[in-house]
Structure formats: structure tokens, C-alpha cells
């Protein structure tokens, strides 16, 4: 039954797991509308390796109010979008969803080392 669900909802379509969601963002080239494997300096690594590679990180209780930070717990990663919410890929039954940071699952935050974050004084173009 689960195989049937996957075939009808995901087979032949673009899908991503939690870390694939983040890598897809980094590997995406908006000029060509393509995803280029391993591009923009982001290696093909898992959620735990991404957390280990981060130089700036802390416990979830100390998360700064910076949209775009990653949130992490062992084996899973999401993206903090601000105001207490996270975007995460939650598997084939749920897809990519918006959840509350306060769900209690997240243990740490991090700046993904392969993404450039704006300083608080910078504005988006």
C-alpha cells in the first residue's frame, strides 16, 4: 500500500529529504533553472555532517532571530523562517511542511557553512 502511495504521488516528480531540501536550494541555478549537483561550494553531505561542519551553532534555546538559520536534531535538519516557524521535509506522507520551532524536536541551531548569511545591517537586493 505504501509503495502505491509513493508511485502515485512521487515517482517521476521532484522530491527531497530534509538535507536534500537544503542542498537543492544551494545547488539551484536560477539563470538556467537547473540544479547542479555539488555546486556553489556545498558538498553532498548529510544533516549530521552539516551540523558538525558548522562553525556558528548553539543550543536551540539560544537561537537568534535570523530567518534562514538551520535547526537540527540527530539525523534531521530544517530551516528556521522566523517568528517561531520552521520549514522542513518530513517524508513522503507529509512532504515539505511549516512547523513550530517550539515542537520540542529541535536541539540546536546552526549557520550552514556553505551559505552566505546577510549581516543584520545588510538588506536583501
Of residues 118 and 108, the one with the higher pLDDT is: 108
- Do the domain assignments include residue 55? yes
Q: CA distances (Å), 99 to each of 12, 29, 73, in order? A: 27, 27, 14
Kindly state the cell numbers that stand for 38. Answer: 555539488
- Do the domain assignments include residue 118? no
Q: Give the span between the Cα atoms of 38 and 27, in whole angstroms.
A: 6
Looking at residue 6, what is its pLDDT? 60
- Do the domain assignments include residue 97? yes
Q: Give the span between the Cα atoms of 9 and 11, in whole angstroms.
A: 6
Query: With bands split at pLDDT 50, 70 and 90, how would you rate the model's confidence at 117?
Result: confident
- Do the domain assignments include residue 36? yes
- Do the domain assignments include residue 6? no
- Do the domain assignments include residue 124? no
Strand segments, DSSP code E, in 68-123 are 70-73, 76-82, 85-89, 96-100, 108-110
Task: Quote the number of domains for the chain.
Answer: 1
Percentage of the chain exceeding pLDDT 70: 83
- Do the domain assignments include residue 67? yes
Looking at residue 13, what is its pLDDT? 62
- Do the domain assignments include residue 75? yes
Q: Which domain holds residue 20?
A: 16-110
Percentage of the chain exceeding pLDDT 90: 54
Amino acid at each position: 500500500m505504501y509503495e502505491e502511495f509513493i508511485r502515485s504521488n512521487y515517482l517521476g516528480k521532484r522530491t527531497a529529504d530534509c538535507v536534500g531540501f537544503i542542498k537543492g536550494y544551494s545547488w539551484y541555478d536560477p539563470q538556467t533553472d537547473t540544479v547542479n549537483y555539488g555546486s556553489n561550494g556545498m558538498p553532498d553531505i548529510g544533516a549530521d555532517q552539516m551540523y558538525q561542519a558548522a562553525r556558528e551553532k548553539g543550543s536551540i534555546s539560544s537561537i537568534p532571530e535570523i530567518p534562514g538559520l538551520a535547526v537540527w536534531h540527530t539525523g534531521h535538519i530544517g530551516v528556521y523562517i522566523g517568528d517561531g516557524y520552521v520549514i522542513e521535509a518530513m517524508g513522503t506522507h507529509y512532504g515539505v511542511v511549516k512547523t513550530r520551532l517550539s515542537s520540542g524536536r529541535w536541539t540546536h541551531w546552526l549557520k550552514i557553512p556553505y551559505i552566505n548569511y546577510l549581516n543584520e545591517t545588510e538588506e536583501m537586493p
